[in-house]
Amino acid sequence: MDATLKADTALTKRYSHHDLMMANAIGVIPLLQELTGLESNTTAEKRLEAIRKRQQILNRLLVASTQISGIAAELDCEGERADRLATYLDQYDSQRIRRLTLFSIIIGAATTVATTLIQSDNTSKVVGISGGVIGAGFGGLAAFSSSRTIHLSHQRNLLTDIWQQNQHSSVYPPFVWYVLNEKVFSNSNEYSISHNIRQRWLNFVLNDSSPEDQALYFGQGGDYKADDFHARANMLNQLQSSVRSINQDLHSLTLALAQ
């Protein structure tokens, strides 16, 4: 790629290095070279050929944009599903806590009434202690989250290749995977987008996760608790945002082509 650009200064004068890297990602460098040569010719035939070349490039850009939209939509769908399942388990846990709290209040009230009505001092003490223990038990149970789970299978796991930093992906389109793994497309140019995504997961989502949690998130599925679904949705949404941002690079190349 670099050797090609050094040999063709006409491209480097018109397009930025970033735009040319995007052009290389979608495979239109040869078309850009042909277009640049045709644009310097003013004959009607060459102008018509230049229009054809430009349309071919725009078609490639459209295909690339469609691939981005497709994988982003899949990420959005998976993230939404994880969010809905997390919400369901959260609501179940909230209802459980309300029931246990209500039972604790009822038992406390009943114990108070019973100890007031019972004449025997010893019996009153036994009832009071028993009621207090039972009420505290219900209150204590309410303080703990439910262990309820939902089984989720994801044979096509969109998180796996990012986590494992695989060189090739069977899930992402080659163009998208190339951009995610080329350092030049990240803000710092020091690490790839996929590397930065993985680091954000480690720092802000998985900082206290166990190997079992990681096997759940990045494997083929398993039994998810509410917090697990929240973590999965968070990672999918972060990844979706990064994938959608590739469209900005495509837009930059499109604008340069139109000049």
Contacts (Cβ under 8 Å, ≥6 apart) of 56 = 28, 31
How far is 29 from 191, CA to CA, in rounded Å?
24
The residue among 35 and 131 whose pLDDT is bigger is: 35
How far is 144 from 125, CA to CA, in rounded Å?
29
Task: Give the pTM.
Answer: 0.81
Q: Is the pLDDT of residue 100 over 60?
A: no
Q: Is the pLDDT of residue 143 over 50?
A: no
- What is the overall mean pLDDT for the chain? 85
Cα separations (Å) of 249 from 8, 168, 193? 22, 22, 13
How far is 149 from 102, CA to CA, in rounded Å?
24
CA dihedral 134, 139, 141, 146 (to 10 degrees): 140
The residue among 94 and 62 whose pLDDT is bigger is: 62
Please provide the DSSP assignment of 164-192 as one string: HT-SS-SSS-HHHHHHHH-GGGSSSSSS-
pLDDT of residue 105: 62
103 phi, psi to nearest 5 deg: -60, -40
Please provide the DSSP assignment of 10-65 as one string: HHHHHS-HHHHHHHHHTT-HHHHHHHHHHHT--SHHHHHHHHHHHHHHHHHHHHHH
Question: How confident is residue 109, by pLDDT bands cut at 50, 70 and 90?
Answer: low
Q: Is the pLDDT of residue 146 over 70?
A: no
Q: Is the pLDDT of residue 148 over 60?
A: yes
Q: Is the pLDDT of residue 142 over 70?
A: no
**Residues 139-162: b if buried by 16+ CB within 10 A, e if exposed:** bebbeeebeeeeebebeebbbbbb
pLDDT of residue 135: 47
For the purposes of burial, counting CB atoms within 10 Å of the CB of 182, is it exposed (0-12), middle (13-18) or buried (19 or more)?
middle
pLDDT of residue 10: 82
Which of 17-21, 42-46, 103-107, 160-164 shows the lowest mean pLDDT across its residues? 103-107
Give per-residue pLDDT as tens, 204-247.
999 989 999 999 999 999 999 999 999 999 999 999 999 999 99
- Asked if residues 15 and 256 have their Cβ atoms less than 8 Å apart, the reply is yes
210 phi, psi to nearest 5 deg: -95, 165
